[in-house]
Structures are given as structure tokens and as C-alpha cells.
Structure 1
């Protein structure tokens, strides 16, 4: 009897943790998130202290979610963007660290568009979920 209660409590805790992390994110298609808003926070996605939280590691879709987010962006005048992964950087605290150390690394992408004078660094967290918005300076792909 104690074993059944223990398993029930454990299942409830796991269920609550999973539900708490989930954020409803619509897909435009399998490769692109449907964004509806541009952030007004000038640090959102453009600073390692305020990364875009795409989540997905828990479902083995972390890198895919990063690309889905970047595929939803457009340049300041609707230009098609191109991007490349510059690498991992910037350890941050996360309860979703799959290795149990309490910290994870962000991914840094360099994003540009036709007519841009330079690339823009976008910092992405694939371990945690958050509301997705286009960073300041970007628009949303039509």
C-alpha cells in the first residue's frame, strides 16, 4: 500500500513539474514557430542575461526549437534572415539541467539579412520554456 501511495505521489510531482514548464507554442509549420509579438525589452534575446527560452530538450527537440524560432524572424523591413550557430556560451542556472548540476549553456546564433552591415547575436536557451517574441530590431516572418 505504501508503495502505491509513493508511486502516486511521484507521478503527481512529475506531472506538475512537466505542466508548469510547458508553454503553448504554435507552429506555422514543422520548421517554424508562429510568433505574434515583438518584444519591447531591448535585452530580450540580445543578451545572455535574457535569452529566448525555446525549450525542447525534454522532448529531444532543443536544436529544432532553436531553428524554429530563428526561422520565424525577419529583418527590420521584412528581409529574409540567415543565421549560423556561433557556439555554446554563457552558463546559466536552470532547474531543467538534464545532468543535475543546476546550470546549462546557452547557444549563440549570429543572424543577418540582406543590407545588414553586421550580424546580430541572439542568445537561446533550449532547456527552459518561455513566451516567444521577436527581439527588438527584428520583425516577424510573413
Structure 2
């Protein structure tokens, strides 16, 4: 009987630990921001290797925890270095934080093999749902609308377009911009993103659209996936694409013009849209 009690107790303990390890709440569905509810009063919490922040085994937990921290002085933090204790395989992770305004760094310790509801470390507060970046969406009723010439719409060979609209037949020739890519780039060079934060980032955006049989471009839609600020900047790109010159030549099938999906792929650096291509 005693042995059975010990087995039951051990089973209960393992079950409790397993359940607790995945009980962490997040502020968003993408698990980019951890839900923190209090600040630790222990000066060693997180700052000493013997008192790590026990975030559990969720692979996004450390990043989500750091995303939710708010330095009390208003500075912005970044991950300067991250090291794992591969030798002992004990789940200990060391993260070195750097800051935009201060030259000093901060070393924080995490433990991924145990879970105890994380708290913000001393010197920091934490973000709430009101602090999460709000996505600015380009109004759907402002997007240029075009009507297809027929019920059959073709598509260039692009996996993002295929993912969005399904498997469609490829045309004989793709839609092209009059004067070629260099001519199209002139418009985008003259219309960069102006958001200061966007200028500091490197990211990609793809916009799919229809070029009708008579060369009209419209029904623009973002086909890349992004969250937070990246989703907002993708919508900024969408707004610029929406106003591009209507100088497209339609796709053809057996020499006849047809409706076809085309896609513009952007690689943005410093807010510039000059790195653009189409199929």
C-alpha cells in the first residue's frame, strides 16, 4: 500500500509540473508578449545564476518575457548576446541585454526546465495589452478595384500567390510593366516609407494583384505574413502600391490577353522600395 501511495504521489507531482510548465499566459496569440502581473522585490531575481527566472519549456517564453519588460527610465532594450549551458544540459540560459541610450549592459538568467510564474525584474515594469503595437490597416474601400474580363483568372508562378488564391493555371506570358522593371522602380524610389522606425528595419513585403485583360491593375492584397509593426509597414507599402501608375500590359494565353494575378516583391532597407521585382 505504501508503495502504491508513493507511485501515486510521484505521478501526481510529474503531472502537476507538466501542466504548470505550459500554464504561462501571453498577451497575444502569437506568443510575442508574456503576460506579467507583478514586479519582483528580490534584488537577485534574474540577476544571479542561482536565482534564474523559471520560464518553463515553451520555446518562445524567453523572447516573450523580454518583449514584455519596460525599463523604468524609458530606454529600449535589445538582446546583445545569448548563451546556453550545453555542457550540463540543465536548461540554464544567459541573456545579455544592451540599451539604445545607455552604454551599460545587464545580464539576466533564465531556467527552461522549471516553471514558476515569472515576474518583472527590479528596475523594470511590464507591458499590458494597451502597450501592444496596434496594426494600422489600409482601408479596404480605398483599394483600387478592377473587374476581370472573364471568370477564368490565371496566375504567375509564385508560392505566396498560390497559398492565397490556390492552384491556378499559368499564362503563356506574364503581365509586365510598360518600360520594364527599371521604369516601375522610378515610382517606388520617389515614394519611400517615411516612418522613422521603419527606416531602421529590414523586412520583406509581397503584394499580389490582378492585371485584367485590358491592362488595368487592382484588387491589391498583402500576401506576406507579419505581425505588429511589420503588419503596419506592409499596409504602408500597400498604400503606395495602390497608387502606382496604371501602365501594365496584360498576360497572354495563345496570343490573347487574359486576366492574371501578378505579385510585387519588396526587400526594404532604410524605408526604400527600390529593391522590387515581379514575376
TM-score (norm 2): 0.38
Q: Deviations over 1:73-102 (max 9, x none)?
A: 12122433211443124988xxxxxxxxxx
CA distance in 1, matches of 2:66, 2:48: 16
**Structure 2 counterpart of 1:51:** 52
2: CA distance, partners of 1:111 / 1:105: 19
Deviations 1:3-52 (A, max 9, x none): xxx9xx97985454132450642201121101111111000000001000
Task: Give, in whole Å, the separation in 2 of the partners of 1:28 and 1:108.
Answer: 24
Distance 1:85 1:55 in 2: 20
Aligned residue pair count? 120
Change (3 A) 1:130 1:91: farther
RMSD, matched Cα: 2.8
Q: Aligned partners of 2:124, 2:52: CA distance in 1, in Å?
A: 15
Distance 1:49 1:20, change over 3 A: same
Does the Cα contact within 8 Å between 1:83 and 1:110 map onto a contact in 2? yes
Q: What is the aligned counterpart of 2:97 among 103, 106, 111? A: 111
Q: Find the partner of 1:75 among 71, 76, 79.
A: 71
2-side partners of 1:14 and 1:67: how far apart? 31
Name the counterpart of 2:35: 34
Deviating beyond 6 angstroms after TM superposition, the runs of 4 or more aligned structure 1 residues are 9-12
Higher-Rg member (1/2): 2
SS of the counterpart of 1:112? strand
Gaps of 5+ in 2: 132-279
What corresponds to 1:19 in structure 2? 16
- Give the gaps of 5 or more residues in structure 1: 1-5, 93-102
TM, length-normalised to structure 1? 0.70
How far has the Cα of 1:69 moved from its partner? 1.1
> CA shift at 1:133, angstroms?
0.6
1:122 paired to 2:108: yes
